[in-house]
């Protein structure tokens, strides 16, 4: 009798625990409320100086002197480096000597022309003989012009052996060492990179084609960098470049965001996580995004949902059962979606998911045999 009483007691407890379980406990719910929704577009980009100048050399040679280093503040026209001037000086001296030689040849030709012109007037030489001296005079003049052009070229090469800064700014990169040979044959080598003003920077971001239509010039953008997790920076959309980038059939556009960097916290090359705020609504009726994704796993609902065009279905908890409700949605952010139309009001309980670890009877009670 004692064993029978124990069995009946255990059976009763198991039965009534399953019955007494509220159907509401089977579902995780969230309440519809009012609040602000900010719709945004996310993108990643790289911080770069607005104006970055690559300083190279137009002549080949060996670097003999370097006057600046990384992070140095420089002025326009300041000497950055020098190439070994020995060869350039020798070529310049040779060009100067060629000019002097051409001047002497021209003077000789002019004297010959003057003497033969007097002889022509006296009838001692023919016109053909005078033409030969005229040709010699013209050739001497041309040779002098050629020598002067070569002198100007060699003087310019000698000038280019001293590398100067074209702008005022900060040395971002130095790609040369003393004794290094630079060859400016097919492509100008980059010796220095100079940022004009690091107080003004820009972010080059890639935005998907599905979102590019929501951006406009002058739009505000907020971003963060890994170096300052607790700080949020702001910028302005300066340019939406028309040249698309296509990689594996994915089309993106480069959006340039200008950023003020008065305190110098932002450095070139930092990765920026950018958010473009494209729409914002205050104090609107909103539902959690999880409720829009929920679909019942069984037939425990009051009626099958009748979907309507351009509307979504939410499941409101009524009497312990999820009841489908058609609604029209507006803008959304990462957590909430605006409800513009439908039979949903503030305070309604929406099902977002079903509770885990339920058996088919809906009971959590497990009978353990000892």
Quote the tokens at residue 60.
């080949």
pLDDT given for residue 363 in this prediction: 47
Length of the chain equals 370
pLDDT given for residue 164 in this prediction: 94
Q: 57 φ, ψ to 5°?
A: -135, 140
**pTM of the shown model:** 0.65
Q: Phi-psi category of 123—alpha, beta or left, where left has phi over 0 and alpha has psi -120 to 50?
A: left
pLDDT given for residue 341 in this prediction: 87
The residue among 78, 86, 79, 99 whose CA lies nearest residue 153 is 99
**C-alpha to C-alpha distance for 314 and 351, rounded to whole angstroms:** 8
* Helices 127-160 and 86-122, packing angle to 10 deg: 160
pLDDT given for residue 354 in this prediction: 83
Task: Return the ∠ at Cα 265 (arms to 261 and 266), rounded to 5°.
Answer: 65
Q: In which residue ranges of the chain is pLDDT below 50?
A: 19-22, 24, 357-370
pLDDT given for residue 140 in this prediction: 92
The residue among 238, 211, 222 whose CA lies nearest residue 272 is 222
pLDDT given for residue 72 in this prediction: 93
E strands, the chain, are 27-31, 33-49, 52-56, 61-66, 73-74, 79-83, 162-164, 169-174, 181-182, 190-195, 200-208, 220-225, 228-247, 250-260, 271-288, 312-318, 321-332, 336-342, 349-354
Q: Which domains does the chain have, with CATH numbers?
A: 25-38+284-354 (2.40.420.20), 41-51+196-281 (2.40.30.170), 54-84+161-195 (2.40.50.100), 86-160 (1.10.287.470)
- Residue-wise pLDDT for 3-13, tens only, equals 777 777 767 66
pLDDT given for residue 356 in this prediction: 60
Q: Is the dihedral of CA 102, 108, 111, 112 positive or negative?
A: negative
8 Å CB contact between 26 and 182: no
């Amino acid at each position: 009798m004692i064993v029978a009483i124990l069995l009946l007691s255990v059976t009763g407890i198991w039965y009534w625990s399953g019955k007494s379980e509220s159907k509401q406990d089977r579902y995780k719910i969230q309440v519809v409320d009012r609040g602000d929704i900010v719709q945004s577009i996310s993108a990643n980009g790289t911080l770069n100086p607005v104006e970055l100048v690559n300083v190279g050399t137009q002549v080949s040679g060996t670097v003999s002197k370097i006057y600046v280093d990384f992070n140095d503040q420089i002025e326009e026209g300041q000497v950055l480096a020098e190439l070994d001037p020995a060869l350039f000086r020798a070529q310049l001296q040779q060009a100067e000597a060629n000019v002097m030689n051409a001047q002497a040849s021209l003077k000789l030709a002019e004297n010959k022309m003057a003497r033969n012109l007097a002889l022509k007037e006296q009838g001692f030489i023919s016109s053909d003989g005078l033409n030969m001296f005229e040709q010699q005079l013209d050739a001497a003049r041309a040779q002098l012009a050629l020598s002067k052009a070569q002198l100007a070229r060699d003087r310019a090469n000698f000038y280019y052996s001293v590398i100067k800064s074209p702008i005022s700014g900060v040395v971002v990169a130095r790609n040369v060492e003393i004794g290094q040979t630079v060859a400016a044959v097919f492509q100008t080598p980059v010796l220095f990179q100079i940022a004009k003003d690091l107080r003004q920077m820009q972010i080059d971001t890639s935005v998907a084609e599905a979102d590019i239509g929501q951006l406009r010039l002058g739009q505000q953008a907020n971003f963060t960098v890994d170096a300052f997790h607790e700080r949020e920076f702001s910028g302005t959309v300066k340019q939406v470049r028309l040249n698309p980038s296509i990689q594996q059939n994915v089309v993106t556009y480069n959006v340039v965001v200008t950023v003020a960097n008065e305190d110098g916290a932002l450095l070139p090359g930092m990765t920026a996580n950018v958010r473009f705020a494209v729409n914002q609504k205050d104090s609107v009726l909103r539902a959690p995004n999880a409720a829009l994704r929920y679909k019942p796993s069984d037939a425990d609902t009051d009626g099958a949902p009748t979907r309507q065009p351009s509307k979504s279905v939410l499941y409101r908890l009524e009497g312990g059962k999820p009841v489908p409700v058609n609604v029209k949605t507006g803008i959304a952010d990462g957590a909430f979606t605006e409800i513009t139309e439908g039979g949903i009001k503030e305070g309604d309980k929406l099902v977002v998911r079903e509770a885990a670890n339920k058996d088919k009877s809906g009971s959590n009670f497990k009978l353990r045999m000892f």
